[in-house]
Chains A and B, each alone.
Chain A
């Protein structure tokens, strides 16, 4: 049961961070910022949620 709880927590955190990243950070992390359309952001959502730890690290680094 603890495994299921951990997975649920990972997924919930990923969803929240992915939404924030796709709204505020998706262009910041690129070496050459390029506009990203709404359709592309929707397509990027699953990947951002699945890879949220790395996405978060890169996003925070972009502010340094």
Chain B
């Protein structure tokens, strides 16, 4: 059943407890987000109003434009930080669970920023000049003087498309690779926002806080991605393999019970090798949902459970339990000389391949 959110139904008590924790965490997450945005906007308006009260309606609207614009920039910077932070430290994983809610809220903040911008023109009966500003072709060849509002509008459009397709239905409808590609456009939107500010407000407002905010946000996001990418490179290095190409994982008991060890094939493809008692199975490390790291999850009620959103797959064949239909690529496993080995040649998704050892 496609409800407001598609949720996995676990039969195991521990799984139900886990789900209840995630779902109650959603309310806390959303509440914290809304409270933070409200607090930021209120504090911005209050402090700036106190320091430099607007003396007319246009200045008051301009103040709101800046409040919501700066809030949106901080929100986008934070959203882009969540992914690499979660890779660097698992304590940030809960921030990943409801990142979509964060994204949708960011869209609405940006929409309000844009609406105040339109209002600024409307109160002066100058909407036609806004249209002219956006459609003057000769200005698009300039750097200083580039219609920076157009950059902002394109970023808004990207954020709208992402918010509008944030439901899991679109993940299935568009297919995960297309959906993921669409949502990676957030990086394009962020770049457009940086240029929107650099070519816009920074050209006539020489407050040093603005370039400092922009530069530090961009530097922070870039640095996080570089550090996380560097750490991930270590995991992409191919694991040791025998003369027949099978990858050595380790003795069976070196694989934590209900957990996994992750090995890498040539080319960086990662394989999660799970142990459930005396059963050993090897699956693709990428969750079919949003490429979460399956190998960092646990086995709950006989199913490998992705740590990001709780999607589950049977260890035996990599198939999601009914009524769900996702399937993971599986790999053959064997024990040779007391060591678990995995054949890096993938089997078709849903192929039964898990083994038992004595």
A interface with B by C-beta (< 8 Å): 1, 3-4, 26, 29-32, 34-37, 39-40, 43-44, 46-47, 49-51, 58
Contacts and interface: CB of A to CB of B under 8 A. Distances in A.
Given A34-B1, A34-B323, A46-B164, A40 B173 contact: no
B173 A58 contact: yes
Contacts of A34: 1-2, 323
Interface string B308-334: 000000000000000101000000000
18 contacts: A1-B131, A34-B2, A34-B323, A35-B1, A36-B1, A37-B1, A37-B3, A43-B167, A44-B167, A46-B164, A47-B165, A49-B164, A50-B160, A50-B161, A50-B164, A50-B165, A51-B165, A58-B173
A36 to B, nearest CB: 4
A31 B324 CA distance: 11
Nearest to A50: B164
Contacts of B4: 37, 39-40, 43
Contacts of A46: 160, 163-164
A36 B2 contact: yes
B4 to A, nearest CB: 5
Question: Mostly helix, strand, loop or mixed at chain B's interface?
Answer: helix
Interface string B122-147: 00000000010001000000000000
Contact of B173 (A30, A32, A49): A30
Contact of B2 (A3, A40, A50, A51): A40
B169 interface: yes
A40 B3 CA distance: 5
Contact of B131 (A4, A29, A31): A4
Interface string B159-190: 01101110101101100000000000000000
A47 B131 contact: no
A46 B161 CA distance: 8
Contacts of B169: 26, 36, 40, 44
A61 B213 CA distance: 49
A31 B164 contact: no
A57 to B, nearest CB: 12
Given A34-B323, A39-B4, A40-B3, A29 B160 contact: no
Contacts of A3: 135
Nearest to A32: B325
B257 to A, nearest CB: 33
Interface string B1-17: 11110000000000000
A1 B1 CA distance: 44
B41 to A, nearest CB: 24
A37 B3 CA distance: 5
Contacts of A35: 1-2
A25 B163 CA distance: 21
Nearest to B169: A44
A51 B173 CA distance: 11
Contacts of B163: 46
A58 B135 CA distance: 34
